[in-house]
Amino acid sequence: MVSTPRDYKLLTPLRLSDDLELKNRMVFGPATRSRCDPVTHAPIERNAVYYEQRASAGLIVTEACAISEQGFGWYGAPGLYTDEQAKGWKEVVDRVHLKGGKIFVQIWHMGRQSHPSFHDNNEVVSASATLYESGRTRNSDGEHTSFERARALTIEEIPAVVEQFRKCAERAKEVGFDGVELHAAGGYLIDQFLQSNTNLRTDKYGGSFENRYRFLHEVIEAVKTVYPPGRIGVRTAPNSPYGGMGNADNVEVFTYVYKRLAEHGLAYLAILDGWEGVGTDSGYHGKCRALTTLDAKVAFQGTVIANKGYSKDIAEGVIRSGSADLVGRDHCAASTCGS
């Protein structure tokens, strides 16, 4: 029997937390569009239109939003650490809410994938002093260039970075976002702490799985002082080579991380179970077996969002199989969308 649209489980509601119900199981996920003001890093009119047009999704998760000047590093991307940026995001949130939509903001620190030209002190920081050698980026003038070696955060500096996440979440709540998603994927700062090729530390933030998870744990605890756990999500990408990532121990470390995340009672875990970019950063890193959404579901024991540019029929199958509860469309969908 062929399913008709009205039979699709994708179109059924899902309660994300005690006080938040989504009208369907489709998530319009984070996709950096580089359309913000390149000087102020604030959303502008076209950003508001873009998100307003997508309010029919059960949940919108915004493009990644820098938590601080230190965490910024993508030409044309947004931040959420100044009053002007907050004002731009309030316009976005208000328009989505007027259309009946729900919207979380994804917050990030780019770590070694930033470029020194974005920073007054002309340096980028990471979990360790590493270099993304094969990658390319754009500097603050929009010119294509190579990455530069990051400086390792000192153990004394880390609490201040955690506080940057908390302050950004505080601004998000003031703006009216329904929740926040912590960007722990893509080879950005949280991911740089989690994965062994970018975390070479020998202190309490490096070495064992527990130590590599510690930074993410502290960020979650800080954000929980602003939003309840049921309004916080975490995004991961254990299979992706993007950002020069991927390691032989990824299945083990991310399984450990998912089990630890289960302790927090979070709204969801989003897993990018592959990458659809181009060139050497596309596909799977191939350094261990792929970690599936079902693996994540078993370890996390909570709501899981699958993300891989699925067609609607494959997305429906993923949900019916029980390996995920919602399906995100982000990079694939964004490549064909207007506005």
Annotated active-site positions, please?
Answer: 188
Burial 229-251 (b: 16+ CB within 10 A, else e): ebbbbbbbbbbbbbbbbbbeebb
Helices (H), 128-249: 158-175, 189-194, 209-223
At residue 160, φ and ψ (nearest 5 deg) are: -70, -35
Token pair 């982000």 in the structure block, residue:
330
d(CA 213, CA 224): 17
**Per residue, what are the HEC states of 83-111?**
HHHHHHHHHHHHHHHHCCCCEEEEEECCH
193, 116 Cβ separation under 8 angstroms: no
d(CA 130, CA 138): 19
The tokens for 32 are: 């950096």
- Name the 3-class secondary structure at 116: helix
**Per residue, what are the HEC states of 167-179?**
HHHHHHHHHCCCE
DSSP 257: H
